[in-house]
């Protein structure tokens, strides 16, 4: 008997594989197709000549912890103790796993807001916790009545993701206030805040949990340098948490990875001094606008996109087929790969909406929109 008998291959791997097989433009998986900053490449060369090839300290390279603390301070005005409140992880995925493994005991309930990214449920199942999946509302924002109704004595954790994958929506101050109230009124409840797209918002600022004093004591924030610096393959991210929670996370981290790839940590600690994440929103806004403008003459209806590098589109005017079937048709017949949104929800109900990733070269985006306008 094995622990996870029924896990299919992820939709992201499946669609990227189909894109290759059919020679399709790949707007499915969330990674950039453009080059990495030459400054970063030069740093890899320069830094790798030094003594940076042995194990880093367990929680992370001290220089990187300090630069991360500076980044959080500059972004949100939150002062962190780099030694006690930051942990460098092998991507946000390991951050999420570590947090759930440290907190969730058998029978604990964990609230997940659907549609949700796919790395939350499995670690809960492995910890013998119970994932409680609550739908976001029609506009992909939280339904606080549903959330409050779902909280009971067994609820240990609520996982949020803002800016949100797959919808590209961002939360308002009022949402953050509701969340603060929920944590204040439920002593046993903690919060895991997945903020991997924290620096990719367009028209309004990102409401990070870092900004809310009332959230900080019970919140574990995960983020991803992969998303912020176009280096998803490096798999380096970080966790921010108060010291008492961080001590528990470190116990898991120590035996899960012990420490993260030393070269990436040394390079990133230098790179953080040289770059400005504040440019990231404008960089992706241009791509979002290029994609949206290119889609004006298509039959797709575009939904609001306030952050991340994902654009949702309704294909209801094309067909009443399920989103999974439509995505198969798109990649097989029209040579364009996208992601069906139903796979992000427990109920798998199809809202006739699919997700396009616009973290791509302008040329790729133009080709993609020309193709989509012909359908
Ligand atoms: C919402 C969300 N959380 C976490 C991750 C994982 O990030 P990482 O590659 O740093 O593990 C992703 C990656 O696509 C994501 O979209």
Q: State residue 10's pLDDT score.
A: 84
**Where is 130: in which H helix or E strand?**
strand 130-135
The alpha carbon of 92 and the centre of ligand 1 are apart by a number of angstroms equal to: 6
Considering the domain architecture, whether residues 247 and 266 belong to the same structural domain is answered as yes
Considering the domain architecture, whether residues 102 and 241 belong to the same structural domain is answered as yes
Tens digit of pLDDT for each residue in 236-265? Answer: 999 999 999 999 999 999 999 999 999 999
Residue 51 has pLDDT above 90, yes or no: yes
Q: How confident is the model at residue 331 (pLDDT cuts 50, 70, 90)?
A: very high
Q: Is pTM, for the whole model, over 0.85? A: yes
Q: State residue 11's pLDDT score.
A: 85
Mean pLDDT of 62-68: 98
Q: State residue 9's pLDDT score.
A: 83
Residue 82 has pLDDT above 80, yes or no: yes
Q: State residue 317's pLDDT score.
A: 95
Q: How far apart are CA 243 and CA 217, in angstroms?
A: 9
Structure tokens at 91: 């991507």
The Cα diameter of the chain in Å comes to: 59
Considering the domain architecture, whether residues 300 and 270 belong to the same structural domain is answered as no
The alpha carbon of 375 and the centre of ligand 1 are apart by a number of angstroms equal to: 31
Residue after which a domain boundary falls, among 274, 306, 326: 274
Count of domains observed in the chain: 2
Q: Which atom of ligand 1 is nearest to the CA of 96?
A: 4
Indicate whether 231 belongs to any domain: yes
Phi-psi category of residue 235: left, alpha or beta, with phi > 0 → left and psi -120 to 50 → alpha: left
Nearest to 217 by CA among 254, 244, 253: 244
161 lines ligand 1 (CB under 6 A): yes
Q: State residue 7's pLDDT score.
A: 80
Considering the domain architecture, whether residues 88 and 152 belong to the same structural domain is answered as yes
The alpha carbon of 284 and the centre of ligand 1 are apart by a number of angstroms equal to: 17
Q: Average pLDDT, whole number, for the chain?
A: 96
Considering the domain architecture, whether residues 68 and 164 belong to the same structural domain is answered as yes
Considering the domain architecture, whether residues 66 and 203 belong to the same structural domain is answered as yes
Query: Which of 15, 89, 91, 99 to probe ligand 1 with, by most ligand atoms within 8 A of CB?
Result: 91
Structure tokens at 88: 């460098």
Q: Considering the chain, what percentage of its residues have pLDDT values greater than 70?
A: 100
Residue after which a domain boundary falls, among 225, 248, 274: 274
Residue 163 has pLDDT above 80, yes or no: yes
Residue after which a domain boundary falls, among 255, 274, 293: 274
Please enumerate in sequence order all residues whose Cβ is within 8 A of that of 177, keeping only pairs 6 or more positions apart, or say none: none
Q: How confident is the model at residue 334 (pLDDT cuts 50, 70, 90)?
A: very high
Q: How far apart are CA 207 and CA 232, in angstroms?
A: 23
Handedness of CA 215, 216, 219, 220 (dihedral sign): positive
Considering the domain architecture, whether residues 50 and 64 belong to the same structural domain is answered as yes
Tens digit of pLDDT for each residue in 260-295? Answer: 999 999 999 999 999 899 999 999 999 999 999 999
Q: State residue 275's pLDDT score.
A: 87
The parent domain of residue 103 ranges over 38-274
The alpha carbon of 196 and the centre of ligand 1 are apart by a number of angstroms equal to: 6
Indicate whether 119 belongs to any domain: yes
Residue 97 has pLDDT above 90, yes or no: yes
Helices (H), 117-261: 121-126, 144-150, 173-185, 213-216, 225-228, 243-256
Burial of 21 (0-12, 13-18, 19+ CB in 10 A): exposed
Question: Collapsing DSSP states into helix, strand and coil, what is residue 287?
Answer: helix
Considering the domain architecture, whether residues 23 and 94 belong to the same structural domain is answered as no
């Amino acid at each position: 008997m094995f622990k996870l008998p029924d896990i299919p291959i992820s939709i992201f791997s499946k669609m990227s594989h189909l894109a290759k097989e059919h020679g399709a433009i790949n707007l499915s998986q969330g990674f950039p197709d453009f080059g990495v900053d030459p400054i970063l490449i030069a740093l890899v060369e320069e830094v790798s000549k030094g003594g940076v090839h042995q194990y880093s300290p367990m929680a992370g390279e001290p220089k990187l912890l300090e630069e991360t603390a500076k980044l959080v301070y500059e972004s949100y005005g939150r002062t962190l103790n780099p030694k006690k409140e930051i942990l460098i992880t092998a991507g946000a995925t390991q951050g999420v796993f570590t947090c759930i493994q440290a907190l969730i005991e058998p029978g604990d309930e964990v609230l997940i807001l659907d549609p949700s990214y796919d790395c939350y449920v499995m670690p809960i199942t492995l910890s013998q916790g119970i994932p409680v999946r609550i739908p976001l509302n029609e506009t992909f924002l939280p339904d606080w009545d549903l959330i409050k109704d779902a909280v009971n004595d067994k609820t240990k954790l609520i996982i949020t993701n803002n800016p949100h994958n797959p919808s590209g929506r961002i939360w308002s101050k009022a949402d953050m206030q509701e969340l603060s109230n929920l944590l204040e009124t439920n002593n046993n409840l903690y919060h895991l805040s997945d903020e991997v797209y924290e620096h990719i918002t367009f028209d309004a600022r990102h409401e990070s949990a870092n900004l809310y004093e009332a959230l900080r004591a019970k919140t574990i924030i995960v983020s991803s340098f992969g998303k912020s610096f176009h280096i998803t393959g490096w798999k380096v991210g970080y966790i921010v948490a108060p010291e008492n929670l961080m001590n528990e996370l470190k116990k898991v981290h120590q035996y899960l990875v012990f420490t993260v790839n030393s070269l990436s940590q040394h390079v990133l600690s230098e790179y953080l001094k040289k770059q400005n994440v504040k440019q990231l929103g404008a960089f992706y806004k241009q791509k979002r606008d290029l994609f949206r403008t290119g889609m004006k003459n298509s039959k797709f209806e575009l939904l609001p996109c306030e952050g991340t590098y994902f654009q949702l589109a309704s294909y209801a005017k094309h067909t009443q087929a399920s989103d999974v079937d439509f995505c198969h048709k798109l990649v097989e017949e029209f040579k364009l790969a996208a992601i069906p949104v139903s796979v992000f929800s427990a109920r798998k109900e199809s809202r006739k909406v699919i997700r396009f990733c616009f973290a791509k070269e302008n040329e790729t985006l133009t080709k993609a929109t020309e193709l989509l306008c012909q359908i």
